[in-house]
Chain A
Amino acid sequence: MNMIAPIERTDDRLARTEVASLVALAARTVAPLWPLESAIAVNPLAGFEELPFAQAVAEASKLFGAHRTLPLALWRRLHENGRIDEAALRDAAIGHLGGIYRAAAPIAPGVTMLDALMACLLVIGRGDRPERKAGLGPDAAFIAKWCGAFFDHGMTAMQLPHRDLGLYRAVLAMAAYDPDYRTLTGARGAALLLSFPRDPLEAISEGLASLAAEVDQLAYLSGLVARLPGWAGHIRWRCEHADPDRVADAPATMADLVALWILLSRADALSEPPAAPSAGEDRAPALLAHFGLTAKALGPRNAQRLDSVARVDDDRLGALFMQAAERSYANGLMPALQRAARTTSPPVRPDVQLVFCIDVRSEPFRRVLEAEGNYETFGYAGFFGLPIALHPFAGPHRARLLPVLLSPRHDISERPVPGRESEAEAIADRARGDACTTDLFAAAKAGPATAFAAAEATGPLAAALMLARTFAPRATGRAAATLRARRQRALAPAGDAHEDHAGFSLADKIGYASALFRLTGLQPDTARLVVLTGHGATAVNNPYAAALDCGACGGHAGGSNARLLAAMLNDEDVRSGLAKEGIALPGSTYFLAAEHNTTTDEVVIFDADRIPPTHAADLAALSASLARAAEANRARRALLLGRAPGDLLTGAVHWGEVRPEWGLAGNAAFVVGPRDLTRTIDLQGRAFLHSYDWRTDMDGSALATILTAPMVVAQWINCQYLFSTIDNQHYGSGDKVTQNVIGGIGVVQGNGGDLKIGLPRQSLFCDDGLPHHIPQRLLTIVHAPFDRVAALVESSDILGRLFGKGWVQLIVIDPETARARRWREDGADCSEGRSLLAIDC
């Protein structure tokens, strides 16, 4: 006789809608995780942004079992290498102790509390942290295994049955045949499979009803979601950001995932939740020894002072180092910016104007290009303000070429360039043929009857390809580049209506064209050539290749957006519309689109064959300058990578390259202002630069757009790098060498487990283990009147939260006086009675 698991029946069971709300709130514990093809940087602690930064880090540490800071030993090495200023560290220590008077309080003759705290920061203890056991418990491994099977994106030979039923029901249907489930749950688990509700919300409701009354239901559900942040993040992406046709074959909600956890919980198969790691030992004995003191020699008051310093744990010490890193950076940058703000340079009409993405990698390239000639450069969000999805020619799915904060408003088709239809068809035929070959090979490789034959038949070819990629990577790279160039010549995104796609209306085009001028301060008196320069990257055999592309274009290269906007700006009707809005462009101005390859620093100019003959000489001069700028920037970057400049070109096409570029590592600032503010300063590729002219934005709407959109994306990037660095195991993705791609959607460490949510170690750390990226919060610097910025921040939930809770630091430079003020964090001293506090710079 089958035993049915006892079910606690209660009258106060939650309704489905109440459960749905609780699950939806619990889902916010993790950030959405985009698939590899469009990897987007997100703040892994986005769900904690309502809290002050330090509290959020502490709460997340408890929930995910993650570290709160870099190991002290690494902070010390950064300090020894001069990347953290000792004076800034001392200031942070004084702040922690409650001010200079308390910091100077003696512990013993010649030893102050500040001396003791500095000793703790720099000397006392090893400062490393013990290795923790990696891997999942058997319960999490069980769910992760089924998630991997359920969400597989066409990689396996045989798909999981019952996927159409949803994750929860599909696993329920299969669990009875899974020995891991039997081992985990025993007879109780088998009985539960027969009796447990098939509706995930009802299953969760039943699970919640079985909890003790004092258990916080939301905290309980959040804890379950946090046990597999990778798969939970993938589900959030599917539910909130994916195109429906991409996920329809395997429907899954967060309730499915939580219901599986509830099933294991009801079977008494849940392991202990992760615990926050320990943050160091008592330093009192070491402090006494360091200063040659004995406990007996100290009076009670001094002993208490010593004890209060000795109890500062590694997490707090790490936080002081981070604060010092932030101050070191700001103290170095602000005086230079204020000097530039006091200086006025006479207007010079440039030969060419180039608009780059705000990405930190654009800044050094802009600087070397400006040194090559009479060029003026601007920073603008790399999707050029076009909220589009692009349907590739003969391609299966549309690509969202816009920030994830936006939904596509225009579906754009990639179509043959007039006169190149046959070339485009040939490219499409080849792409279709390649896809068929790939599918055939995959099927043959995976088929039980064909696997060995496929290996025999294709082995020599694969070996030849492998040898070519290993010993002649530049040759294989050239072949790929030729194909890419051919495609770019024959195909272009088309903004007009086509088949089911409405394209842009004239009003849309005028609106997007004028936004370029309104948001960047670009004046209507444009140069003869204006080049809209998107960016992308080149990497081979790299699951994180999309993370090196343009974040503002949803993890894709930005060339298509640049081509579309350039075409709009060359359109006579658009020019007429712009003139009616007061943006009358010279007839001699021609807009071009280009794409900066951040791995090789090569710049591709699109549609150059259509440039008017009158502008050919301008383009030729620019092309020569771009080539020289590329060489100069490669030389600069090669130093940072510890390579020869030529190696960068090889690394971009070598399948064994684990660090083709540093990406956005080092990002630290977001500067909103004219280029004159930063032109003379070497920002070392650490600053997002958004052009802005406060004089042309009297209602503050352009600034509102810049701070609530591009800056938010920059903050996500900054937080992803920050947290991936401080705990690469939990918030990053670990060593690339031991990663495997799973299901075509993400990476796991080893042969299974949770999807990894952040950046790999090689993107953040040097080979000697020292962080290349210093974990510090974004510093936003705005060149605008104080009152305008204050009014804007106070009226915006997002900005109030980011600046008030300390996720981003804000400094405003008044354009008239060049004085600077810092935004006061919530709860900080407000004796000045205002939000923007005076600072000494």
Chain B
Amino acid sequence: MPIKDDTLRLHRRRKIEIVMRAEDRTLIEDLLRAAGVSGWTMIRDVAGMGHHGFHQGRTIFNDESGLVMFVGVGDQAIIADVASGLSRLFERRPGVTFLSDVEVMRSDYFAPSIGTAGDPSF
């Protein structure tokens, strides 16, 4: 039986997903740290079709080949900061990003904006 939303306390956050070359992984990590994002998910060996054809996902002996995807969640201001820094990276490096609204159950897991008052939960 599905759980109704009103039985849960959910918190609205922003999510950013970034797909870049694995060799550019540290660029994204530096950016996320600078924005104050303390945790993120990284998915290796991402495959897919892009402007330059199909990108193979499978690698064995090289963590720096292929594509990776980062997933970060935080307050709107922080994710906007990440996107702002990302725009600089995309001037020089290939990649795509997706921004979306999400709801999370444990808000303390995700980066708050410095000085944010209150919790935009509903």
* Bound pair (A, B): yes
Chain A interfacial positions (CB closer than 8 Å to B) = 15-25, 201, 218, 239-240, 253, 381, 385, 387, 403, 405-407, 515, 701, 704-705, 708-710, 712, 794-798
Which residue among A218, A704, A710 has the maximum number of chain B CB atoms within 10 Å of its CB? A704
Assess whether B82 is interfacial by the CB under 8 Å rule. yes
Q: Which residue of B lies closest to A403 (CB)?
A: B61
Q: Which residue in B27, B31, B61, B92 is a CB contact (below 8 Å) of A709? A: B61
Report the stretch among B5-13, B68-76, B83-91, B100-108 that lies at the interface: B83-91
| Neighbouring A residues of B56 by C-beta, 8 Å | 704, 795-796
Question: Chain B nearest CB: distance from A199 CB in Å?
Answer: 10
| Neighbouring A residues of B88 by C-beta, 8 Å | 18, 21-22, 25
Give the distance in Å from the alpha carbon of A183 to the alpha carbon of B85 in the complex.
Answer: 37
| Neighbouring A residues of B30 by C-beta, 8 Å | 20-21, 23-24, 239, 253
| Neighbouring B residues of A17 by C-beta, 8 Å | 31, 34-35, 81-82, 84-86
Known contacts A24-B26, A24-B31; A708 and B63 CB within 8 A of each other: no
Question: Chain A nearest CB: distance from B54 CB in Å?
Answer: 6
Q: Which residue in A20, A385, A797 is a CB contact (below 8 Å) of B61? A: A385
Are B61 and A405 touching (Cβ within 8 A)?
Answer: yes
7 more A-B residue pairs beyond the given contacts A201-B34, A403-B61, A797-B65, with a C-beta to C-beta distance below 8 A:
A16-B35, A17-B85, A21-B27, A24-B30, A253-B30, A705-B61, A795-B54
Assess whether B62 is interfacial by the CB under 8 Å rule. yes
Question: Chain B nearest CB: distance from A134 CB in Å?
Answer: 32
| Neighbouring A residues of B53 by C-beta, 8 Å | 794-795
Q: Which residue of B lies closest to A253 (CB)?
A: B30
Query: Can you list 13 A-B contacts with CB-CB less than 8 angstroms, sorted by A residue number?
Result: A17-B86, A20-B34, A21-B30, A24-B30, A239-B26, A405-B63, A405-B64, A705-B59, A709-B59, A709-B60, A796-B56, A797-B55, A798-B62
Are B31 and A21 touching (Cβ within 8 A)?
Answer: yes
Q: Which residue in A20, A385, A403, A794 is a CB contact (below 8 Å) of B31? A: A20
Question: Chain B nearest CB: distance from A830 CB in Å?
Answer: 18
Are B65 and A798 touching (Cβ within 8 A)?
Answer: yes
Which residue among A21, A381, A387, A710 has the maximum number of chain B CB atoms within 10 Å of its CB? A21
Question: Chain A nearest CB: distance from B93 CB in Å?
Answer: 8
Are A16 and B34 touching (Cβ within 8 A)?
Answer: yes
Q: Which residue of A lies closest to B82 (CB)?
A: A17
Question: Chain B nearest CB: distance from A379 CB in Å?
Answer: 14
| CB-based closest 8 A-B pairs | A17-B85, A20-B34, A709-B61, A21-B88, A709-B62, A21-B85, A24-B30, A405-B62
Question: Chain B nearest CB: distance from A240 CB in Å?
Answer: 5
Give the distance in Å from the alpha carbon of A15 to the alpha carbon of B64 in the complex.
Answer: 29
Q: Which residue in B31, B34, B35, B62 is a CB contact (below 8 Å) of A406? A: B62
Please, what's the 1-or-0 string for B26-45, where 1 marks a CB less than 8 Å from any CB in chain A? 11001101110000000000
Are B84 and A712 touching (Cβ within 8 A)?
Answer: no
Q: How large is the interface on B (under 10, 10 to 19, 20 to 34, 35 or more residues)?
A: 20 to 34
| Neighbouring B residues of A15 by C-beta, 8 Å | 81, 84-85
| Neighbouring A residues of B31 by C-beta, 8 Å | 17, 20-21, 24
Give the distance in Å from the alpha carbon of A19 to the alpha carbon of B88 in the complex.
Answer: 9
Give the distance in Å from the alpha carbon of A798 to the alpha carbon of B86 in the complex.
Answer: 22
| Neighbouring B residues of A794 by C-beta, 8 Å | 53
| Neighbouring A residues of B52 by C-beta, 8 Å | 797
Question: Chain A nearest CB: distance from B95 CB in Å?
Answer: 12
| Neighbouring A residues of B55 by C-beta, 8 Å | 795, 797
Are A16 and B81 touching (Cβ within 8 A)?
Answer: yes
Give the distance in Å from the alpha carbon of A239 to the alpha carbon of B34 in the complex.
Answer: 14
Give the distance in Å from the alpha carbon of A798 to the alpha carbon of B64 in the complex.
Answer: 9
Question: Chain A nearest CB: distance from B76 CB in Å?
Answer: 14
| Neighbouring B residues of A23 by C-beta, 8 Å | 30
Are A21 and B62 touching (Cβ within 8 A)?
Answer: no
| Neighbouring A residues of B23 by C-beta, 8 Å | 798
Are A24 and B65 touching (Cβ within 8 A)?
Answer: no
| Neighbouring A residues of B59 by C-beta, 8 Å | 705, 708-709
| Neighbouring B residues of A712 by C-beta, 8 Å | 62
Which residue among A17, A515, A796, A797 has the maximum number of chain B CB atoms within 10 Å of its CB? A17
Are B34 and A708 touching (Cβ within 8 A)?
Answer: no
Are B61 and A381 touching (Cβ within 8 A)?
Answer: yes
| Neighbouring A residues of B93 by C-beta, 8 Å | 25
Question: Chain A nearest CB: distance from B33 CB in Å?
Answer: 8
Give the distance in Å from the alpha carbon of A147 to the alpha carbon of B80 in the complex.
Answer: 35
| Neighbouring B residues of A201 by C-beta, 8 Å | 34
Q: Which residue of B lies closest to A702 (CB)?
A: B60
Q: Which residue of B lies closest to A407 (CB)?
A: B63
Question: Chain A nearest CB: distance from B105 CB in Å?
Answer: 27
Which residue among B26, B33, B53, B54 has the maximum number of chain A CB atoms within 10 Å of its CB? B26
Give the distance in Å from the alpha carbon of A710 to the alpha carbon of B54 in the complex.
Answer: 23
| Neighbouring B residues of A403 by C-beta, 8 Å | 61-62
Question: Chain A nearest CB: distance from B39 CB in Å?
Answer: 15
Q: Which residue of B lies closest to A14 (CB)?
A: B88
Question: Chain A nearest CB: distance from B107 CB in Å?
Answer: 22
Give the distance in Å from the alpha carbon of A797 to the alpha carbon of B63 in the complex.
Answer: 14
Q: Which residue in A16, A406, A798 is a CB contact (below 8 Å) of B63? A: A406
Give the distance in Å from the alpha carbon of A710 to the alpha carbon of B60 in the complex.
Answer: 11
| Neighbouring A residues of B81 by C-beta, 8 Å | 15-17
Known contacts A17-B81, A18-B84, A24-B27; A705 and B60 CB within 8 A of each other: yes
| Neighbouring B residues of A240 by C-beta, 8 Å | 26
Which residue among A18, A19, A253, A385 has the maximum number of chain B CB atoms within 10 Å of its CB? A18
Give the distance in Å from the alpha carbon of A21 to the alpha carbon of B55 in the complex.
Answer: 25
| Neighbouring B residues of A253 by C-beta, 8 Å | 30
Give the distance in Å from the alpha carbon of A21 to the alpha carbon of B89 in the complex.
Answer: 6
Which residue among B21, B59, B88 has the maximum number of chain A CB atoms within 10 Å of its CB? B88
| Neighbouring B residues of A797 by C-beta, 8 Å | 21, 52, 55, 65
Give the distance in Å from the alpha carbon of A19 to the alpha carbon of B92 in the complex.
Answer: 14
Q: Which residue of A lies closest to B58 (CB)?
A: A701
Question: Chain A nearest CB: distance from B38 CB in Å?
Answer: 15
Question: Chain A nearest CB: distance from B49 CB in Å?
Answer: 11
Q: Which residue of B lies closest to A518 (CB)?
A: B60
Question: Chain B nearest CB: distance from A152 CB in Å?
Answer: 25
Question: Chain B nearest CB: distance from A423 CB in Å?
Answer: 36
Give the distance in Å from the alpha carbon of A794 to the alpha carbon of B81 in the complex.
Answer: 36
Are A25 and B27 touching (Cβ within 8 A)?
Answer: yes
| Neighbouring A residues of B26 by C-beta, 8 Å | 24, 239-240
| Neighbouring B residues of A24 by C-beta, 8 Å | 26-27, 30-31, 89
Give the distance in Å from the alpha carbon of A357 to the alpha carbon of B55 in the complex.
Answer: 30
Q: Which residue of B lies closest to A797 (CB)?
A: B21
Q: Which residue of B lies closest to A46 (CB)?
A: B23
| Neighbouring A residues of B62 by C-beta, 8 Å | 403, 405-406, 705, 708-709, 712, 798
Question: Chain B nearest CB: distance from A716 CB in Å?
Answer: 12
Give the distance in Å from the alpha carbon of A712 to the alpha carbon of B59 in the complex.
Answer: 13
Are A406 and B92 touching (Cβ within 8 A)?
Answer: no
Are A515 and B54 touching (Cβ within 8 A)?
Answer: no
Give the distance in Å from the alpha carbon of A19 to the alpha carbon of B61 in the complex.
Answer: 33
Give the distance in Å from the alpha carbon of A387 to the alpha carbon of B63 in the complex.
Answer: 11
Known contacts A794-B53, A795-B54; A708 and B35 CB within 8 A of each other: no
Question: Chain B nearest CB: distance from A702 CB in Å?
Answer: 9
Give the distance in Å from the alpha carbon of A253 to the alpha carbon of B34 in the complex.
Answer: 11
Q: Which residue of B lies closest to A19 (CB)?
A: B34
Question: Chain A nearest CB: distance from B80 CB in Å?
Answer: 9
Q: Which residue in B54, B61, B92 is a CB contact (below 8 Å) of A218? A: B92
| Neighbouring B residues of A25 by C-beta, 8 Å | 27, 88-89, 92-93
Give the distance in Å from the alpha carbon of A22 to the alpha carbon of B84 in the complex.
Answer: 12
Give the distance in Å from the alpha carbon of A381 to the alpha carbon of B26 in the complex.
Answer: 26
Give the distance in Å from the alpha carbon of A240 to the alpha carbon of B26 in the complex.
Answer: 7
Q: Which residue of B lies closest to A798 (CB)?
A: B65
Give the distance in Å from the alpha carbon of A22 to the alpha carbon of B30 in the complex.
Answer: 10
| Neighbouring A residues of B60 by C-beta, 8 Å | 515, 705, 709
Give the distance in Å from the alpha carbon of A21 to the alpha carbon of B84 in the complex.
Answer: 9
Give the distance in Å from the alpha carbon of A385 to the alpha carbon of B62 in the complex.
Answer: 11
